[in-house]
Structure formats: structure tokens, C-alpha cells
Amino acid sequence: MSSFSRSAQQWATFARSWFLIDARQQPPGKIATMCSVRLQGKHKPIYHALSDCGDHVVVINTKHIAFSGNKWEQKVYSSHTGYPGGFKQVTAAQLHQKDPKAIVKLAVYGMLPRNLARRTMMQRLHIFPDDELPEDIRANITEELQQPREIPRRLSEYTQEEIDAFPRLWTPPEDYKMK
Amino acid sequence: MKAYTYLMAKKLKLEGPSPPKPRSQQPHWDHHAEVQAFSSRLHENFSLEVLKTAFINPCYLQAEHRRRQGLAVGAEATALALEDNVQLRERGESFTRSFLTDWCRASFPVLPSDGVESVAGHLAGSEVVTYVARNLGVDDLAMSADCPVPDDVLHSTFMAVVGALLESSGPERTGLFLRDFLGPQLIGKDLFDMWTVVNPMGLLVEELTKRNVALPEPRLIRAAGASTVLPLYFVGLYSNKKLLAQGPGETLAAAEEEAARVALRILYGYTENRRPLDFSPLQQHQQPLIQSISSN
């Protein structure tokens, strides 16, 4: 790390990385914070708001994001067309149906600083609803980031040995009727 | 007052800045006092006549001779009773070179001979010596035909001063003087700034075969933006599946070369996190510097 030549060290310090995040079964808010931190360049010790030191972030599988609670039905995305009577409100589920990329995009947009650099940072965010990436983006990727939420396993994904090894919490009485 | 300053500013704008005058021709100059001050400033015991001779350059003598002939005073009066610093310079230069080579070899025992020569050559070369000389005040004391003192004249004056020190105090003190003033110029300098190596990979292969280590195998460790115009590749060199060094680069070839250079720096012990060089003052009971080097 320390014994690089000056030009090589400078090139490596100021190069733009490409991060990959898999949004499968992840809350879009947590995905968006990770994206916004890296798009601004706040994960680097050389950060400055005017330095244009942000990196690229590629988010895949946004079709499979998972809101917690009842947000699919309760979270409302509002917009106005500019014309009278043009105030539109859609629930998160409807918006996701219409455009699977919009929720992540709006979440990241809201988390970036409200300055002229925001649009440039949004251009460096690449969102894909599923696993397929174009070849050039796939070639650019540096590393994959760890998912923010640990995905819980379904009962069908546990092996019979693990189920048997789990300690029995209570023994039901003889005449207990299981539903 | 205001009118005067305006006029002087206008004159400056018309004619440009005045040519630099040597410090000896500016007011309040006492050559003997300055030479004494130079000697005590460096905490050295110079013999003052030798030191005064060391500051007199042949170009100054020629210029003086021509000036006196131009005044048409007469052959006896034109003879200057001053000696040149040429012999002192030669002695100083040869001693500097040999001392610096020995000191570099002692500080970096693994560095091969052309590396040592390049480092010593850089330290004894024009750039470093003129920088040190200007900051020690040698350019004010040096007598030369032009002003400001040109680099090669300043270099020879400094070498003559070293020669004078050699005559006055002996090789040990001169060695310590050179180590203390030229040695710190290595701080912050990279090995390959001073030593141009055209094929670092070939040199690395040679070094590893000498030490009976497996040949380096380059592998791509990280890549970023491969299909953009500003790619970055980190290539690591593995010998026998163990990492020797890794280096970044704009292209794969550049990254591999950088990794080879980093490996060479680690092998020769010239990394940035190496143990700092020893500049401690010479104690009485310590073995003198030059003798310990020649016994290696």
C-alpha cells in the first residue's frame, strides 16, 4: 500500500470503483443509504463535496425488494403533473407494478444532497430489475457489497436434521388439538 | 515620498527588475567575519585560509585578471595573490563519491551496486548539492564571475568546501558532515526516482533466481471500470502461491510493472515504512563510521 510509485498511487486513489448490490429481499431504504454513501464518495477518506469523488453503484434484482410492515399498501408516492387536477397519488405496490426500478430510484434520489451534483450522482446509479446486466457494466464491476438484511430461511429450506435438532419448547397435553 | 515611489515603480515597469548583485557587493559585507560565521554555523573547525581558498573559483580569477588588464595598471600589479579551489574541489569530489557510496551500501546492504551508484550519484549530483549549498549560504560566500552563481560553479565550490573540511578536520568529521547534510535529502525520495530501471520484471526474476525463490506469477486481484476510459487494475505477483507484492496501474501491463517495482522495493528494503537511517552524533566510544563500513 505504501511503496507504490507516486503516479500509480495517485491513479489508484482517484479511480472510480463500481459496486454491485443485490436487492433481493432487502428493504429499499437500507439499499438506498448504502448507494447514497458510495455515490457521494463518503466512504473514502479523500471525500470533499466538490471533488467529484463518487463511485458507480449497480443495483440488481430490484423487482424483488421487500418493504417491512404494511408499506406496500400504506406508503404513498405523490406527484403533480403541473396541470389542474393533476395531483396523483399511488401506493408503493402500484408504483412497483408499473416500474420495478422506481422505488429504489426515488429512495436514493431523496437521500442524496439537494445540490447540482445530485443529478450527476443519479447518472452513476445503475438499476436493473433482475439479474441480467449488460456486458460492459458486468466487466466494470469491482466488488459486491454485503446485503444489509440477513434473509431468514423458510421452513421448507431447513433440513429435517436441523428441525429435529431444534429444542422442543413445550409438550402439548394428550387431548390438545393442533389446528 | 509618494511621487518618488511612483517614479521608481514607473522606472521598474519600463526597465524591468535590476540585475542581481552578489551579496559581497551589497553594503555591510565583511568577508573574514562571514567566513568565520560560516565555519561556526556548521559547528566545524575549518582552517580559515584553506576555507577562503575554497571559495575562490577559477572563473572569478579570470574575470578579475581581465578587469585589471582592462584598467591597464601594469604586469606586476595585475598578479593576484589568490589561489584556485581546483585541487580542493577534486579532493572533495572524490571523497564525497566514495563516502556516499560506502554510506549507501551500509544503509541498504541488499541494494545492488548500480542501485547504490545511482543513489550516491543523485546525492552528489548537481541538483541536491546546489540546493544544499544555496541554503547553507555558500552562494553568498562563493566568488564567481556571474551573479547569481551558476549551478556548476556552486557545485564545485561546495566540493571545494568539502575538500577544505577534509584538510582541516580529517575524513571522519567530513564524513559526518556529508552524512548530516546530504543524507537527509533522501527523505521522501523513492528508489526508482533516482535509479532508472527499464525492465523491473527482468530484474526481479534475476533477484529471485539468485535467492532460489520460485518465479513470480502475475494474477489480477482487483479491476475497476474495465470498459471505461479510466480503468484501474491491481495485479499481484505470487511466488509459490504466496503474495510477493501488488501494484495498481492504468492497464494490465502497467499494473504488472508497478507490482514488479513494489516487489523490488520490498526486496531491497527501500519501502516507505523502513527503519529510519541513523543520524545520531558520533560518540567517543563508538567505532568511527568509515572504518566500520570498510570492515564490512
* Residue A72 pLDDT > 60: yes
In this model, does residue B188 exceed pLDDT 90?
no
- Residue B137 CA to residue B158 CA, distance in Å, equals 10
Q: Which residues pair with B218 in a beta bridge?
A: B237
| CB atoms A11 and B265 under 8 Å | no
DSSP reduced 3-state for B144: coil
Q: pTM above the 0.95 mark?
A: no
Q: Residue A178 above 90 pLDDT?
A: no
The minimal CB distance from A18 to the residues B225, B248, B261 is found for B225
Picking from B230, B247, B270, the nearest residue to A4 by CB comes out as B247
Tell whether B265 is within 8 A of chain A (Cβ): yes
| Among chain A residues, CA nearest to B265 | A3
**Region A159-176: what's the mean pLDDT?**
93
**A142 with B223: Cβ contact below 8 A:** yes
Phi first, then psi, for residue A87 (nearest 5°) are -80, 115
Choose among A9, A16, A136: nearest Cβ to B224. A16
The residue type at B265: R
pLDDT of residue B286: 46
Closest alpha carbon within chain A to B188: A6
Radius of gyration, alpha carbons of chain A: 22
Question: A76 Cβ partners below 8 Å, 6+ apart?
Answer: A89, A90, A91, A92
Task: Give the pLDDT score at B74.
Answer: 64
How much is the pLDDT for A93?
Answer: 96
Report the SS3 class of residue B185.
helix
- Cβ of B248 within 8 Å of Cβ of A18? The answer is no
Task: Please say if the pLDDT value at position B85 is more than 80.
Answer: yes
What is the mean predicted confidence (pLDDT) over B213-225? 94
Q: Which residue has the higher pLDDT, B146 or A61?
A: A61
For B244-250, what is the mean pLDDT?
95
Q: Could you read off the pLDDT of A110-133 as tens digits, one per residue? A: 999 999 999 999 999 999 999 999
- What is the structure's pLDDT at B278? 86
- Residues 146-205 of chain B with CB under 8 A from chain A are 190, 192
* pLDDT digit string, tens, across residues B11-66: 999 999 988 999 999 999 999 999 999 999 999 988 999 999 999 999 999 988 88
Q: Please tell me the distance from the alpha carbon of residue B242 to that of residue B244, in angstroms, as a whole number.
A: 6
- Which residues on adjacent β-strands are paired with residue A126? A58
pLDDT given at position B75: 63
* d(C-alpha B159, C-alpha B182), whole Å: 12
Q: Taking CB atoms and an 8 Å limit, are B265 and A15 in contact across chains?
A: no
Comparison of pLDDT for A111 and B291, the residue scoring more = A111
Segment B87-106 shows an average pLDDT of 95
**Facing B262 at nearest CB: one of A3, A18, A136:** A3
Cα distance between residue B227 and residue A136, in whole Å: 6
SS3 A119: helix
Q: Which of A48-62, A142-156, B54-68, B91-105 has the lowest mean pLDDT?
A: B54-68
3-state secondary structure chain B: CHHHHHHHHHHHHHHCCCCCCCHHHCCCCCHHHHHHHHHHHCCCCCCHHHHHHHCECHHHHHHHHHHHHHHCCCHHHHCCCCCCCHHHHHHHHHHHHHHHHHHHHHHCCCCCHHHHHHHHHHHCCHHHHHHHHHHHCHHHHCECCCCCCCHHHHHHHHHHHHHHHHHHHCHHHHHHHHHHHHHHHHCCCCHHHHCCCCCHHHHHHHHHHHCCCCCCEEEEEEEECCCCCCCEEEEEEEECCEEEEEEEECCHHHHHHHHHHHHHHHHHCCCCCCCCCCCCCCCCCCCCHHHHHHCC
Kindly list the residues from chain A whose CB atom is less than 8 angstroms away from the CB atom of residue B247: 4, 8
Across the interface, whether the CB atoms of A17 and B225 are under 8 A apart is answered: yes
Q: Taking 50 as the threshold, does the pLDDT of residue B292 lie above it?
A: no
CA distance B40 to chain A (A): 39
Residue B128 above 60 pLDDT? yes
Local structure of residue A22 (DSSP, 8 states) = E
Distance CA B237, CA B203 (A): 14
Q: Per-residue pLDDT tens for A95-111?
A: 999 999 999 999 999 99
For an interface test with B, give the residue of A11, A13, A44, A137 to mutate (most B CBs within 10 A): A11
Residue A91: strand pairing partners: A76
Alpha carbons A96 and A105: distance in angstroms, whole number: 11
Band of residue B166 on the pLDDT scale cut at 50, 70, 90: very high
B284 vs B211, more confident: B211
Does A2 score more than 90 pLDDT? no
Give the start-end residues of each E strand in B194-241.
217-224, 232-239
Q: Phi and psi for A28 in degrees, rounded to 5?
A: -65, -25
- pLDDT score, position B289: 52
Tell me if A3 and B227 make a contact (CB, 8 A cut-off): no
> What number is the average pLDDT over the span B199-213?
94
Count contacts between A and B (CB, < 8 Å): 63
Q: Does B224 touch chain A (CB under 8 A)?
A: yes
State pLDDT tens for residues B53-81.
Answer: 999 999 999 988 888 888 876 666 666 77
Percent of chain B's residues with pLDDT above 90: 78
The C-alpha cell of B140 is what? 553568498
Q: How high is the pLDDT of residue B76? A: 63
Q: Which of A97-101, B88-92, B118-122, B292-296 has the lowest mean pLDDT?
A: B292-296
CA B256/CA B242 separation, integer angstroms? 16
Does residue B294 have a pLDDT over 70?
A: no
The CA angle B257-B260-B262, to the nearest 5 degrees, is 110
